[in-house]
Structure 1
Amino acid sequence: MKNRNRILLLVTFVLTAFTANAQQSAVLPPLVSVNGTGEVRVQPNEVVVNLGVESREKTLDAARKETDKKAAAIISYLKKQGVDAKDMQTSFVTLNPVYNSGEFGRTSPDFYVAQKNMTVVIKKLNRFDELLSGLYGVGANHVHGVQFQVSDVEKYKAEARKKAVANAKQKASTLTSELGAKIGRVYAISESEGYRGPQPMYKVALQEVAMDGAGGPSIAGGEVVISANVDVSFVIE
């Protein structure tokens, strides 16, 4: 008897919840739902350089000391050139033995390789060539890549969101006016996260580094694209 009462109570609860949801759906106002996009294109004013030093020596200690010496020289050079300490960061360190000999059972390496990578933010693009040449001169022997960015990206993100909202409103107005209606208050709004990743996002539209033997600039920053994507639902009046 008790089990039967419990089953009846559970069924009653489920039916009540279903009825409540159905009633809520029934009173949902007429809506027009649209997606809005906004985009801002700006020239980058900073470049992030990932560079490294590598030393090959017969002993582990010699390889480590030589690499540390070159890394210290790089940091010293950048500081003298006005690069702030917060814009320099060691990102990767390795120290490995290398066995080139094919002799079976060999336990002693032929030499050791020590590497140390650093990430540097250069805030004056017109000094890129000068600084890179100086870095090579003090011991840097690898450049693994560059990435362009804008320092005040949050300002442009806000501008892109504003454009996205305006775009959504314009779309909704056009759709409803074609049917002889108009949009009312905003019912829901959100930033969508589709295949493009979290919105807003920013990406490098053009990134090119090439050594120019003619003596001209060797870096082309192109432009950075900051985009926003929003989903908005308006009540139809």
Structure 2
Amino acid sequence: MSDKKKKYLGLSGIIFSYSVVIEGDTNIKALTDKNATKSNEIIAFLKKSGIDEKDIKTTTYSLEPRTKYYSCRYDQPNSGKPCLPSEIVGYTIRQSADVKVRDFTKIGDVLAGVTASGANDVSSLQFTTDDPTKIEDSARADAIQKAMAKAELIAKTGNFKIGRLLSIEESNYNPVPYYESFAPKIMSAAPVAVPTIEAGSQETKINITLRYEIK
């Protein structure tokens, strides 16, 4: 005897990623100072917007050289000179972080403000849910009760009795999201429009199959 129960999970927040990407020449100090200024401005904005420090997590910090390569064939044709070696012409710094926004009314303003504060890459918008364990346990209990009631009804209708329970089988269904999201990759700092974010809900399903002896 089978029964399926569907429950909806409340969304607890949204996580997005942002990056500050800065290119410069070979003056590494000037480049790192510029990155630090922009990154600190973003963090200051987030904290001012009510984002807790524990919800801001730096995920990437990299300093990579940009190298120019010379081709003897195209850059020095028939010169008879040794081919020029490659040289570093500048560096690129990328600093990325994940941010969790727990207040859905602030999401649009936070996304726009992060970009206005200096982030030139905002992406990976993900909705997070409450701990699904309690919701799944509730769905599981409801499904078992309904399957037992259904078995009793069928036994009564068929004029037989059900015996001992032989097995319980459970099938979980992947949650199906119910929301509209806006996760732009923003490449310009100003002007910045405030995106609309719809939170919605998320569904989880539990399917229970009970197997009984028949008397």
1:211-231 CA-partner distances (Å, limit 9, x unpaired): 8xxx78611223211233444
Structure 2 vs 1, CA of residues 216 and 55 (structure 1 numbering), >3 Å: closer, same or farther? closer
Say whether 1:144 aligns with 2:117.
Answer: no
Q: Retained in 1: the 8 A contact 2:21–2:95?
A: yes
Greater Cα shift, 46-55 or 158-167: 158-167
Could you tell me how far apart the structure 1 residues matched to 2:63 and 2:158 are? 70
1:11-41 CA-partner distances (Å, limit 9, x unpaired): xxxxxxxxxxxxxxxxxxxxxxx55432212
- Select the structure that is richer in helix: 1
Deviation at 1:63, TM superposition (A): 3.7
Report which of the two structures shows the higher radius of gyration computed on alpha carbons: 1
Could you tell me how far apart the structure 1 residues matched to 2:16 and 2:29 are? 28
Greater Cα shift, 117-126 or 164-173: 164-173
Aligned twin of 1:11: none
Aligned twin of 1:218: 196
Aligned twin of 1:50: 17
Amino acid at match of 1:123: R
Q: Retained in 2: the 8 A contact 1:148–1:207?
A: no
RMSD, aligned α-carbons = 3.2
Aligned twin of 1:159: 138
**% of aligned pairs identical?**
24
Q: List alignment gaps of at least 5 residues for structure 1.
A: 1-33, 193-198
1:60-108 CA-partner distances (Å, limit 9, x unpaired): 4544443343333222222222211222212233332233x45236432
Greater Cα shift, 81-90 or 144-153: 144-153
Aligned twin of 1:204: 177
Say whether 1:98 aligns with 2:69.
Answer: no
Matches within 5 A, 1:183-198: 183-192=162-171
Structure 2 vs 1, CA of residues 114 and 210 (structure 1 numbering), >3 Å: closer, same or farther? closer
Could you tell me how far apart the structure 2 residues matched to 1:223 and 1:142 are? 27
Structure 2 vs 1, CA of residues 69 and 167 (structure 1 numbering), >3 Å: closer, same or farther? farther
Structure 2 vs 1, CA of residues 103 and 150 (structure 1 numbering), >3 Å: closer, same or farther? same
Runs in 1 of length 4+ with deviation above 4 angstroms?
170-179
Q: Retained in 2: the 8 A contact 1:148–1:204?
A: no
Q: What TM-score do the two structures reach when normalised by structure 2?
A: 0.71
Q: List alignment gaps of at least 5 residues for structure 2.
A: 72-83, 185-192
Q: What TM-score do the two structures reach when normalised by structure 1?
A: 0.65
Say whether 1:117 aligns with 2:85.
Answer: no
Q: Retained in 1: the 8 A contact 2:124–2:183?
A: no
Q: Retained in 1: the 8 A contact 2:111–2:195?
A: no
Could you tell me how far apart the structure 1 residues matched to 2:106 and 2:197 are? 10
Give 1:79's match in structure 2, choosing from 41, 47, 55.
Answer: 47
Q: Retained in 2: the 8 A contact 1:187–1:233?
A: yes
Aligned twin of 1:41: 8
1:114-155 CA-partner distances (Å, limit 9, x unpaired): 222211111111111111222112222211221122335333
Could you tell me how far apart the structure 2 residues matched to 1:106 and 1:179 are? 89
Say whether 1:234 aligns with 2:212.
Answer: yes
| 2:118 counterpart SS class | coil
Could you tell me how far apart the structure 2 residues matched to 1:85 and 1:36 are? 45
Structure 2 vs 1, CA of residues 200 and 107 (structure 1 numbering), >3 Å: closer, same or farther? same
Could you tell me how far apart the structure 2 residues matched to 1:163 and 1:106 are? 72
Could you tell me how far apart the structure 2 residues matched to 1:94 and 1:171 are? 61
